[in-house]
């Protein structure tokens, strides 16, 4: 005899309700959040412009059907493409993430909240162009900044206490959920429609982390977030038609997300949604490297100078010890052959070896030509990680959120260099005063990759002026980035 299963429609899961009510109703009052969102915007767009230099990224751009024209479609920055919002979200999201150089959030689950900008910009630009064509007012860039803050908050607050990677799921799941919520708000969906849209995001198929780890690390990790944010746009548009949602998408016994994919455990929350995540987000400013290695790379640059001053070379090194936090060891401590760029930029040994040899680390250093230098693999084999439990505690401490690494170099003659420790990377909130001028310099460098001087100056004039940027129509701002 089968057990009785109630078919009474349940109330909406509280987690879904909280996401939706925040996305639709929360008023952001933090000036720090808006100021940081402006820096998130320019840094993220700059990362996309740099990605355009790589054929592997460019080959994935454009409409699904070549030659398709979309009236009032979204502009893809740095290109001449004007696409439907779903495909535009994929294009923009792909470029943003390609080089692993946009902002980062580290907690029980890590990720890159600015990945959501793919969907946000795609929808905001499309809506604005459609409004202008119909004689209505377009959205303003302040609307985009608000959406950035809220997407960062949804993704980041869920990530604080809930590890999706430990059950084999990729963090882009949270991009899809956050993008769905804020895109629904931009589209003007009702509360019921937005509840449906967010439930669809949880019910939707979720990406495995297979493509981020040995022995399968590969380039999908560079477009997975674009895929997620574009899927969010698609789901929001489906919900806008009145398509039904699923109230217990998370909590339904057996068939809900918790039982099917999260080992039966409900989500835990450390804090309510506000503007905490955007205010504390980590910028990748100096190095296009997986964030758990950022401080290690910074220390390696220092050690490169010390090697030269001591009259030593990397050939004299017997051993390098990296004192680090547990998450670093779990994600990027990797020995053995590295098969592609995606493999290399998720290997801390590679990301330390290159600056020890060359004095810096650039996106192009992951390419096969540089990787063929025999000194790199020889040095990698001599680099070993050990966990420092204090570093692990401080990594999870919400008041510190450090990403510490300390490097000690030992030579074959028995001598050694003093340990170089860096607890907070240049992109950390504790180093904002030091980091923001460098972030703006990074943006200038990336603009120069694509645009002539006059166009660079026009973009900078509005992007670095908070009031001018917030007041500008979204479509006018995106037009500045057209080749």
pLDDT per position as a tens digit, 357-377: 999 999 999 999 999 999 999
pLDDT per position as a tens digit, 232-280: 999 999 999 999 999 999 999 999 999 999 999 999 999 999 999 999 9
Relative orientation angle of helices 191-203 and 220-240, to the nearest 10 degrees = 140
Residues 293, 299, 304, 310: is their CA dihedral positive or negative? Answer: negative
Instruction: Give the whole-angstrom CA distance, residue 289 versus residue 296.
Output: 10
Instruction: Give the whole-angstrom CA distance, residue 470 versus residue 3.
Output: 57
Is the pLDDT at 328 greater than 60? The verdict is yes
pLDDT number for residue 3: 58
pTM score, two decimals?
A: 0.90
Is the pLDDT at 467 greater than 60? The verdict is yes
Instruction: Give the whole-angstrom CA distance, residue 115 versus residue 100.
Output: 11
Nearest CA-CA partner of 42 in 473, 366, 437: 437
Instruction: Give the whole-angstrom CA distance, residue 176 versus residue 42.
Output: 22
pLDDT number for residue 2: 56
Residue at token pair 């869920």:
158
pLDDT per position as a tens digit, 6-32: 788 899 999 999 999 999 999 999 999
Is the pLDDT at 78 greater than 90? The verdict is yes
Phi, psi of 105 (to 5 degrees): -130, 125
- Say if residue 340 is preceded by a cis peptide, omega within 30 of 0: no
Is the pLDDT at 1 greater than 70? The verdict is no
pLDDT per position as a tens digit, 317-327: 999 999 999 99
Q: What percent of the chain has pLDDT over 70?
A: 99
Is the pLDDT at 106 greater than 90? The verdict is no
Of the pLDDT bands very low, low, confident and very high (cuts 50, 70, 90), residue 398 is confident
pLDDT number for residue 399: 87
Is the pLDDT at 459 greater than 90? The verdict is yes
| Mean of per-residue pLDDT scores for the chain | 96
pLDDT per position as a tens digit, 117-141: 999 999 999 999 999 999 999 999 9
């Amino acid at each position: 005899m089968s057990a009785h299963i109630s078919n009474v429609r349940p109330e909406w899961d509280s987690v879904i309700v909280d996401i939706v009510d925040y996305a639709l109703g929360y008023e952001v009052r933090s000036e720090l959040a808006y100021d940081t969102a402006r820096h998130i915007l320019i840094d993220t767009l700059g990362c996309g412009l740099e990605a355009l230099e790589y054929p592997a990224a460019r080959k994935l751009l454009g409409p699904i059907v070549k030659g398709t024209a979309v009236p009032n479609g979204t502009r893809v920055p740095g290109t001449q493409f004007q696409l439907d919002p779903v495909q535009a979200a994929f294009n923009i999201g792909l470029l943003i993430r390609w080089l692993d150089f946009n902002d980062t959030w580290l907690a029980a689950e890590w990720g890159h909240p600015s990945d959501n900008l793919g969907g946000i910009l795609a929808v905001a630009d499309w809506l604005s162009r459609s409004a202008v064509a119909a004689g209505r007012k377009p959205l303003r860039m302040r609307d985009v900044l608000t959406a950035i803050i809220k997407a960062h908050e949804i993704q980041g607050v869920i990530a604080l206490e809930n590890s999706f990677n430990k059950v084999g799921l990729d963090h882009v799941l949270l991009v899809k959920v956050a993008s769905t919520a804020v895109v629904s708000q931009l589209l003007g969906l009702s509360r019921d429609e937005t509840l449906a849209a967010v439930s669809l995001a949880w019910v939707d198929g979720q990406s495995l982390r297979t493509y981020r780890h040995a022995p399968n690390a590969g380039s999908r990790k560079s477009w997975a977030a674009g895929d997620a944010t574009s899927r969010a746009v698609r789901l929001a548009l489906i919900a806008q038609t009145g398509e039904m949602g699923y109230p217990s998408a998370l909590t339904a016994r057996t068939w809900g997300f918790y039982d099917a994919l999260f080992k039966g455990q409900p989500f835990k929350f450390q804090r309510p949604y506000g503007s905490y995540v955007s205010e504390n987000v980590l910028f990748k400013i100096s190095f296009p490297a997986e964030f758990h290695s950022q401080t290690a790379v910074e220390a390696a640059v220092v050690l490169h100078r010390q090697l030269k001053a001591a009259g030593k070379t990397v050939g004299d090194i017997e051993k390098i010890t990296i004192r680090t936090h547990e998450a670093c060891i779990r994600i990027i401590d990797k020995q053995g052959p590295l098969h592609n760029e995606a493999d290399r930029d998720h290997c801390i040994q590679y990301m330390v070896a290159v600056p020890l040899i060359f004095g810096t680390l650039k996106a192009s250093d992951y390419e096969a030509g540089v990787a063929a230098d025999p000194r790199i693999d020889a040095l990698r084999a001599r680099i070993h990680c050990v966990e420092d439990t204090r570093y692990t505690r401080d990594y999870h401490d919400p008041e510190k959120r450090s990403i510490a690494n300390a490097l000690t170099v030992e030579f074959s003659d028995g001598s050694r260099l003093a340990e170089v420790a860096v607890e907070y990377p240049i992109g950390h909130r504790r180093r904002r005063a030091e980091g923001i001028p460098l972030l703006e310099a990074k943006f200038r460098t990336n603009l120069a990759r694509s645009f002539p001087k006059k166009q660079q100056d026009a973009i900078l004039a509005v992007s670095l002026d908070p009031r001018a940027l917030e007041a500008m129509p979204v479509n006018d701002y995106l037009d500045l980035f057209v080749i």
